[in-house]
Amino acid sequence: MTPQQIRTVFMGTPAFALPTLAGLIEAGCQLVGVYTQPDRPKGRGRQLAPPPVKELALQHDLPVFQPQKLRDPEAVATLRELAPDLIVVVAYGQILPKSVLEIPRFGCINVHASLLPRYRGAAPINQAIVDGERETGVTTMQMDVGLDTGDMLVKRATPIGPDETAGELHDRLAVIGREAMAETLAQLCNGTLEAEPQDDAQSSYAPMLKKEDGRIDWRRPAQGLHNQVRGLAPWPGAYTSLDGETLKLARTRPLTGSGAAGTVLRADADGVVVACGEGALHIGQLQLPGKKMLSAADFLRGRALPAGKRLG
């Protein structure tokens, strides 16, 4: 069996899904449909903008479907008419109901950005960094009705850099996801694909992020705060308060140092150093509301941060 013989539907929405879709196109998969979220208002003009997956699909003249709710009977009937042998899912943004999972003979295969069963859920990339993990990866899995609980197929691991942000890791894992799916497809075609059940006892959960997850508690150790800052970059971003204003922080690193938690120890062109519950946090970039993210040197030209100033 070859990829050209497998009637495939792809489901995905954001940029993370693009490398996998591109890989399926280059492999010559018989893509009979691409499902993505409806166009959303974007930018200051709030003009409707297509999801990245829709743009790539249209460039390759692939039929695009954007149901508001995949579980609607009409949407399920349309999908059934496409008669897919396989559905590949990467960050689609909707839960696949049982009525959809049962359609393709090879099932629905999901590309998930963690080493399952660790970090099931919506924000596995961010949570792995926030937790200080040194390794993560991608798992392809056979989808079931649970949340990322299906049998595992192919795993690809990668180290997490000590200063790597969620945005940077996201881009690397998107490419690794393409590689993992390519290997999964190859094994499916040659009949060697084997499924391994997840051990629920080893599972952990990565919930959807909220803006308030970015609030810095200076009583925590500097290493933990560094992980929080880079794990929430670029969104929702880590922040504290300065004279009643929200102050966003980026490009941090933990240092030795001591003082009252949240107190500025020094601030110069090299960066701003703030005392934590354990150690100190060096901040390389800062941003006030309505302003751009600035280097510490540029920020301090417009706003003094004298030693002893309290943040938070």
pLDDT tens for each residue of 143-192: 999 999 999 999 999 999 999 999 999 999 999 999 999 999 999 999 99
Predicted confidence (pLDDT) per residue in 127-140, tens digit: 999 999 999 999 99
Per-residue pLDDT, 46: 85
Q: Record the tokens describing residue 252, joined without a space.
A: 């941090």
Sorted by sequence, the CB contacts under 8 Å of residue 297 that are 6+ apart come out as 268, 269, 270
Asked if residue 74 has pLDDT above 90, the reply is yes
Question: Closest Cα partner for 86 from 17, 32, 15?
Answer: 32
Report residue 118 as tokens: 């660790």
Asked if 235 and 209 count as a contact pair (C-beta separation under 8 A), the reply is yes
Q: Please, what are the domains in the chain?
A: 3-206 (3.40.50.170), 211-302 (3.10.25.10)
Q: pLDDT (tens digit, 9 = 90+) per residue, 261-277?
A: 999 999 999 999 999 99
The enclosing H or E element of 258 equals none
266 and 228 in contact (C-beta within 8 Å)? no
**Is pLDDT at 283 greater than 90 in this prediction?**
yes
Question: What average pLDDT score do residues 27-39 get?
Answer: 97
With contact defined as beta carbons under 8 Å apart, do 181 and 140 qualify?
yes
Q: Which helix (H) or strand (E) holds 16?
A: none
Is the pLDDT at 219 greater than 90, yes or no?
A: yes
